[in-house]
Structure 1
């Protein structure tokens, strides 16, 4: 009996061991399959977000051109390992260089040193054509470089369009398509903002595009590189590290975040000399997602055009002061607007997108019935069709349509109340509202000074410009994920609200115009958080560090 029991126990142990081996072998096999699947995803689909974006547009045929053999996958994995080991060794070298950076060499001649610090620079801006805000920020910085460092030359480069393989080079058209479909944009934005996805993107972009980008950067021979786009950080930084390894010349890299309240994780890397941010909300994201050290973060505000700094100074820094009110009246007269009435500025972006027509109709009806005299200035951008429709519109018909429906309903419910209702409506004094359609505007700073309220989508640049001149903002729409933080930024700082429905937007604007105290307080709140000179401050700090590195590089 004892022998039989021992035999049974031995058989159970053997069976359990074999089961354990089977399970462990199965797990190992699964891990290998998952790893291979990850490599295939990296090499075949090539960065899922632009792939899905291109797929939405029907770019299925291009996907078949990028199928790789097993040997090419093996080569990619070996290249990946060498790239990761190289980046780790370079990160230690870059940290040593940063320690040396704190003590730049001292020139023997003070005159030559000061002339170098104000000398011209070769600046390379990195951006992509995904919305006008990135380009506008680069242009505002470039103008300040020219002012403070005369003779400066600059270039704006889109690596993905010039040197990116498919689907990176489809980033710009994919953005234009997806920005019209918020649900698709929300899905892709949050998917690409996941940590595992960020790692896959960084690895794949380095393996497929880094060499071409390195050659492109080297051809510019820039003194400083400034990124104003979230996708232009990881791979360009690796390219600059490789250039420094090959040539011994280190080019300083800076990131200027062009978001107010929410930033994509691809904005943030620990290597840049400085990362310029617009708010404390962005600081928290940078430290959490990018491990950016505190000494590299500079809360400078969003860089905007120099025109707004000039207008802020002309108003005396406060549009609610006597100087500010007087200057606003003179600006209205200069723009051929009635200086005795309120002005509402309605915008929909450079392309004149959004439900501008419905918003303008609701504003006209509500303000007229509320007895408010106002000018509604509509910036249609390049949307000439909308501009023509607003110019030829019969506003009396817009005003009487709701009345007819209401009268029919009253007549049906109670014919005896019809006469009393008509008497009440006839006794109400209507306001004089004038709609002024405009095309593409270059005097945006002047129009924002003349306006009393801005009605616009929640773009970061538009909000920062409005805050610089103390203009309250009624936000009407935003891109999910990317611009959601901008809405929170405005609401938390109490210089605006967010509404979607045109009728509610019009009611909110009407209530603001009737309450001068609330409107004045919102204007003061906007000025308090504004940074009209952000572009100048950013450029001066970049220029100082760039000249230090030029001296180290022997320039």
Structure 2
């Protein structure tokens, strides 16, 4: 399997993949999908934060500041700014560092009080929780940086703006991923370009009218896709509208939300920009016809809460009702509470007992929550049962380690929080590459069996504490590079329609924020 580095943007692979930018490890210490205890070796991504839907069925979500119906509509072209320039020293891209976070660059005085807000349309779908989480993060990032300058709508085009059976995509996905063989056939069968391009082109003949109506409704100045099946069809519709004189060319960007293993449908050579999280994804994009100048390596768009400074760990534990001095294990079952949560808790109770406390995040799985709330743990294990949470940054910051499936967003969030990771499963195909990413970068282990997971944790809490501390340090090292990824992506997206922005005033606001940050 091809591997990748987590080197900062712009660096090239020099040694072996995955660990190229990190201290090299001896061959004897390199594990292959295994753990330090020598044990043998799912589903739903990590918990996401959703806004209330409102409107009919699942209409798009937008920021609180709604665009007036009488506002002038229009579109902007892409001005081709270079992401490699240093914005604070005269370039057009803002500084690619998280030290300015969370200062708001767009809340100063406006030069033109009647200036029309630019509209950003984010295309997503609820096939797994990661796409919606990324869309919400982008929306929050625009609000954080630019205030009222932008209105961001995230739209499930397939569900809300296509006819049957295309509007059943999320249900079809949920059914297929539960059948590993069926999912692998569908996933790899659509990988070749000579198959998925004709297939989606034919699909566009049936859905183009409704998709065009969605663009007419939202009148976007910028379209951003955070889903692999929302490149070819939207681009085709936008080109058709431009040829017919219905709108000016609209810049189009793709924000890849897979960490390592990317389906080829993510990449279309006609996009203006493609933002990827790793160098491995960059190579995949170039193999699929994108030029290097179209691709930017920033990291994953993680929710803003993970880039903001939270209260110290002991204060968070007190506010969350947790014991201050007892190690905390965060057991995440995803938005739907999937995975062997009950079996893992039982194994931890048998092996570790009162040596730690576990926060079990069960998502929307009400039956599981009910069972755990009425279950006793004779070994003395302290268990805190949670449903769907919207403050995951606080729970992760308060924790010492995490057990989760190999969802890209949850992995990135755990690294930012410096948590050693135990992966207990993955969705076939798109999440398989995340396992060697975690193992080879020495930030965690992979183990399916609950009893073996309990053995690993017992070691980390006792004789293997040195290994645990090394994993935590490496996690913080890698996570620090991704902490400002959302900021960097949002700024580059904003500059794709910067005709509506007073660039110099925004630079001045950023400089003022930097001075204040330095003197704090």
TM-score (norm 2): 0.71
Q: Which deviations, in whole Å up to 9, do the C-alpha atoms of 1:65-95 show, x marking residues without a partner?
A: xxxxxxxxxxxxxxxxxxxxxxxxxxxxxxx
- Tell me if 1:492 matches 2:440: yes
- Asked which structure has the greater RCO (Cα within 8 Å, sep 6+), the reply is 2
Q: Which deviations, in whole Å up to 9, do the C-alpha atoms of 1:328-370 show, x marking residues without a partner?
A: 22222221211111110101101111111111111111112xx
In the TM superposition, structure 1's runs of 4+ consecutive aligned residues that sit over 4 Å from their partners are 100-103, 111-116
Q: Note if contact 1:223-1:550 (Cα within 8 Å) is conserved in structure 2.
A: no
Q: 1:194 deviation in Å?
A: 2.9
How many residues end up aligned between the 2 structures? 395
3-state SS, counterpart of residue 454 of structure 1: strand
3-state SS, counterpart of residue 223 of structure 2: strand
- Equivalent position to 2:317, from 332, 336, 341: 332
3-state SS, counterpart of residue 147 of structure 2: coil
Q: 1:158 deviation in Å?
A: 2.1
Gaps of 5+ in 1: 1-96, 104-110, 316-326, 400-431
Q: Note if contact 1:252-1:549 (Cα within 8 Å) is conserved in structure 2.
A: no
Q: How far apart in 2 are the matches of 1:483 and 1:449? A: 24
Q: How far apart in 2 are the matches of 1:478 and 1:226? A: 27
- Tell me if 1:379 matches 2:361: yes
Q: Note if contact 1:268-1:286 (Cα within 8 Å) is conserved in structure 2.
A: yes
| Aligned pairs (5 A) from 1:82-101 | 101=80
Per the alignment, residue 457 of structure 2 pairs with 509
- Equivalent position to 1:309, from 303, 307, 310: 307
Q: How far apart in 2 are the matches of 1:168 and 1:222? A: 23
Q: 1:433 deviation in Å?
A: 2.7
Q: Which deviations, in whole Å up to 9, do the C-alpha atoms of 1:213-254 show, x marking residues without a partner?
A: 223212211111110100001111111222222336111111
Per the alignment, residue 128 of structure 1 pairs with 125
Per the alignment, residue 525 of structure 1 pairs with 474
Q: 1:435 deviation in Å?
A: 1.4
Q: How far apart in 2 are the matches of 1:114 and 1:130? A: 42
Per the alignment, residue 215 of structure 1 pairs with 213
Q: How far apart in 1 are the matches of 2:489 and 2:240? A: 26
Max Rg structure: 1
Per the alignment, residue 270 of structure 1 pairs with 269
Gaps of 5+ in 2: 1-76, 83-107, 503-520
* Distance change >3 Å, CA 314–CA 393, structure 1 → 2: closer
Q: 1:458 deviation in Å?
A: 1.0
Q: How far apart in 1 are the matches of 2:116 and 2:256? A: 26
Q: How far apart in 1 are the matches of 2:368 and 2:456? A: 24
Q: 1:305 deviation in Å?
A: 0.9
Per the alignment, residue 185 of structure 1 pairs with 183
3-state SS, counterpart of residue 153 of structure 1: strand
| Aligned pairs (5 A) from 1:73-472 | 101=80, 120-151=117-148, 152-247=150-245, 249-288=248-287, 290-310=288-308, 313-314=309-310, 327-368=312-353, 373-396=355-378, 399=379, 432-472=380-420
* Distance change >3 Å, CA 245–CA 102, structure 1 → 2: farther
TM-score (norm 1): 0.67
The two structures, once aligned, show a CA RMSD in angstroms of 2.5
3-state SS, counterpart of residue 484 of structure 1: coil
* Distance change >3 Å, CA 297–CA 485, structure 1 → 2: same
Per the alignment, residue 67 of structure 1 pairs with none
Q: Note if contact 1:261-1:488 (Cα within 8 Å) is conserved in structure 2.
A: no
Q: 1:122 deviation in Å?
A: 0.8
Q: How far apart in 1 are the matches of 2:239 and 2:426? A: 37
Q: Note if contact 1:137-1:303 (Cα within 8 Å) is conserved in structure 2.
A: yes
Q: How far apart in 2 are the matches of 1:218 and 1:129? A: 23
Q: How far apart in 1 are the matches of 2:364 and 2:110? A: 48
3-state SS, counterpart of residue 265 of structure 2: helix
